[in-house]
């Protein structure tokens, strides 16, 4: 490439005849060795022939436009990538948020509910809940579950009510839909402890409902029938799942039946003005509220009373006379014996067991007396007959 090829203005001077013969010859001589220079000069000759103006500025502007357009296209591509990345990031965050909210700890149905204490006396104890299924009642009796406290519980998962709650008002609780509420007691508590919702407050003062729900079936004082009926009505108003309601109803029904049996027995025994014992266990009489009432038939030295089922065929008065006479013959004037026995085919006592006795020497004597004594009647052949023979009670 000759030195003239890049100097268009100089070449234009050549074309316009503005150069000296020597300068012109240099260019013309170079043209024969440089094809590009020849084409440029011929182009300049064409321009001169067409009388067009030099396009330099216009060409530079167009090149600049192309450069700018390509740069904008590049930036636009980057913008598109940025927008796409932002959308993906938003979806990702939304997905994580959705998954997090769907976790058991934050599910709506498992929200912990905390009621502000109505009484300012116990305001120092603010219940905080860790277990999402745990229900916290608070009023005068603030309840805290010490082992499950979590200090930094998300506030959004708590619903705080500032409305005062009446002391005896039944408070609402929510439980997992599939979780059964099991009544604590030896007969029905057969679930894993983790599934048991313990509703027993630590405070000694209990609402009626909590008393009912925590009553130990068969081990405590029976719930009065009036209370049971009321509780059943309250139970229907509770927002519990059907399974839980069914379980609670079953427990209440069972308690009602047992109370009816007790009352029936009480009535029948009252006709005899005799001893009343609840349940069929002698051991329960020691610690229970069973009462032994003295007989009013005038027998001083001996009182033999049935605890359950059986009665002598000759009647209690005759039987008591028989027992007193026989024991006096053997030299026993004071005695206190609890006895159980079955009846054989001849309705005679058999399998006689001395449950408790004030004098061990008396045991064999009483067994012998009973075996040789009158026949018996048993209302329930499947259960043994219990009686007590007590000289002290008879003397009162």
- Based on CB atoms, which residue is closest to another protein, 77 or 200? 77
Q: Is residue 4 a contact residue for another protein (CB under 8 A)?
A: no
Between CA 220 and CA 223 the distance in angstroms is 9
11: left (phi over 0), alpha (psi -120 to 50) or beta: alpha
Check binding of 8 to another protein (CB under 8 A). yes
User: Which position among 3, 6, 119, 315 is part of the footprint of another protein (CB under 8 A)?
Assistant: 6
User: What's the Cα-to-Cα distance from 175 to each of 107, 109, 206, 364, rounded to whole Å?
Assistant: 12, 8, 21, 60
Site residue total, another protein (CB under 8 A): 37
Does residue 78 touch another protein according to CB under 8 A? no
Among 18, 42, 154, 392, interactor with another protein by CB under 8 A: 42
Select 10 or 188, whichever has its Cβ closest to another protein.
10
Residue 83 Cβ, how far from another protein at the closest point, in Å?
Answer: 23
3-state DSSP of 322-354: HHHHHHHHHCCCCCEEEEEEEECCCCCEEEEEE
* Binding residue (CB under 8 A) for another protein from 3, 16, 54, 396: 54
Q: Decide: is 60 part of the binding site for another protein (CB under 8 A).
A: yes
Round to whole Å and give the CA distance between 290 and 276.
6
C-alpha span between 373 and 302 (Å, rounded): 15
Query: What separation in angstroms does the CA of 3 have from each of 15, 120, 319, 331?
Result: 16, 103, 153, 158
E strand spans, the chain? 112-115, 158-161, 303-308, 310-312, 336-343, 349-357, 376-378, 385-390
DSSP H or E run through 29: helix 21-33
Nearer to another protein among residue 1 and residue 149 (C-beta): 1
Residue 63 makes contact with another protein by CB under 8 A: yes
Give the range of 3-11, 110-118, 228-236, 359-367 binding another protein by CB under 8 A: 3-11
Told to check if 219 binds another protein by CB under 8 A, we report: no
Closest to another protein by CB, 63 vs 159, is 63
Instruction: Give the position of tokens 């070449």.
Output: 11
Where do contacts with another protein occur on this chain (CB under 8 A)?
1, 5-6, 8, 17, 21-22, 24-25, 28-29, 32, 35-36, 39-40, 42-44, 46-47, 50, 52, 54-56, 58-60, 62-64, 66-68, 70-71
């Amino acid at each position: 490439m000759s030195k003239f090829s890049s100097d268009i203005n100089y070449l234009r001077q050549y074309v316009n005849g503005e150069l000296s013969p020597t300068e012109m010859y240099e260019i013309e001589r170079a043209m024969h060795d440089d094809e590009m220079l020849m084409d440029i000069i011929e182009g300049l000759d064409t321009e001169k022939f067409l009388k067009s103006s030099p396009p330099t500025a216009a060409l530079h502007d167009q090149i600049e436009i192309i450069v700018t357009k390509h740069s904008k296209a590049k930036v636009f591509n980057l913008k598109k990538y940025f927008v796409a990345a932002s959308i993906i990031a938003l979806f990702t965050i939304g997905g994580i948020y959705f998954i997090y909210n769907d976790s058991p700890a934050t599910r709506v149905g498992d929200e912990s509910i905390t009621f502000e204490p109505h009484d300012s006396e116990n305001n120092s104890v603010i219940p905080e809940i860790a277990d999402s299924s745990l229900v916290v009642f608070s009023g005068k009796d603030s309840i805290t579950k010490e082992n499950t406290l979590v200090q930094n519980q998300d506030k959004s998962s708590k619903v705080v009510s500032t409305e005062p709650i009446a002391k005896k008002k039944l408070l609402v609780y929510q439980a997992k839909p599939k979780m059964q509420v099991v009544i604590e007691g030896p007969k029905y508590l057969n679930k894993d402890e983790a599934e048991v919702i313990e509703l027993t407050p630590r405070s000694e003062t209990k609402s009626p409902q909590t008393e009912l729900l925590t009553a130990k079936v068969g081990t405590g004082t029976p719930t009065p029938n009036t209370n049971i009926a009321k509780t059943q009505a309250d139970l229907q108003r509770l927002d519990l799942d059907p399974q839980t309601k069914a379980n609670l109803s079953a427990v209440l029904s069972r308690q009602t039946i047992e109370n009816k049996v007790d009352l029936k027995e009480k009535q029948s025994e009252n006709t005899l003005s005799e001893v009343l014992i609840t349940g069929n266990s002698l051991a329960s009489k020691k610690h229970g509220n069973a009462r032994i009432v003295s007989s009013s038939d005038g027998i001083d030295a001996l009182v033999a009373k049935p605890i359950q089922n059986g009665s002598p065929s000759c009647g209690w008065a005759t039987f008591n006379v028989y027992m007193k006479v026989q024991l006096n013959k053997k030299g026993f004037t004071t005695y206190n014996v609890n006895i159980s026995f079955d009846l054989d085919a001849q309705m005679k006592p058999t399998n006689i067991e001395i449950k408790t006795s004030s004098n061990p020497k008396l045991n064999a004597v009483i067994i012998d007396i009973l075996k040789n004594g009158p026949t018996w009647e048993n209302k329930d052949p499947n259960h043994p007959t219990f009686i007590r023979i007590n000289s002290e009670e008879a003397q009162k």
